[in-house]
Structure 1
């Protein structure tokens, strides 16, 4: 900016010194127009120099920001590289040892798994057997707590009684025999009563006659 002002001042001095040697026939209006034009050109040059200075300042600030970012990235990369080296030297051996232990444990489990499955199967069989026995015991206790008439009815007329088939057949046979005997006795009684009634009726008719 100082250089532009100095150059403009120098141009004006030259024009003034040249105007002293100009003949009186040259009009002053042209001289003033030339001075004005040169002043405008100098002002335009000064404005362009200011704009160029502003652009240079902005570019310099951008360059500084980019340089700062590059430095931060370089520091971060260096730090991460050190961490990776530290992990490579310390953590990876631990991970490998842990993996070896896990593989060994899995091998042992693979060897003992058939035995465990066999034991689980035996336990399941024992559990099922115990459950069946418990259910049978509950049914027996329920059957024993049932009244005699209910047990007798279920044994003869229903298939759900918890007794053997031989006992059911025997009870049904005894019931059939008892029923037959009862029917026979009733039939004989009714027949005797009918005969007595007829005999009484006959004797009554005879007495009336």
Structure 2
């Protein structure tokens, strides 16, 4: 594969619109600029393509696909950089997993990011990612001043799990990935799927308490 930033265009599926092709090519160029000196063009394009594939079969708005693919590829490349020792900032890294990555794991990610600030890294994923974040979870988090509308349901990948110091599972059962040597915690929480705001608030509050205990265990002082 060529190392030219434009080489992506030759590998894009024919069924994509011109706008989508241009958006993916632009995404590849941005990622190549961000990860210059860390990963080669071939690796970046491979991650962008496979990230696109993760969403292509279930995205409700096709025009958002290139953006979702770029954001997920960026997360995966950051994870791979940690796995390969190309990032050594010493920040604890936590992965929150549930079934649909639409409620519990997204609220946990929101709380961790809000409370840890720049002192930790967190990601989330699902065994069967949904199409959107649970509106009741969004509302519940908004009530405590945390905006999770910028997140989106996504799967996990090997490099993301391998990069995590702690993997927190919430109901994904046997589908949750098991990697030897990883620290695992299982949080027994009700599934907020299909629940109204009154049912989700106690789940949210339980998650906050668990996140604060996890931060203390990791030696991270909450910023709030």
Shorter chain as denominator, the TM-score bin is under 0.3
Which structure shows the higher strand fraction? 2
Q: Which has the higher contact order (CA 8 A, sep 6+)?
A: 2
TM-score between the two structures when normalised by the length of structure 2: 0.17
Which structure shows the higher helix fraction? 1
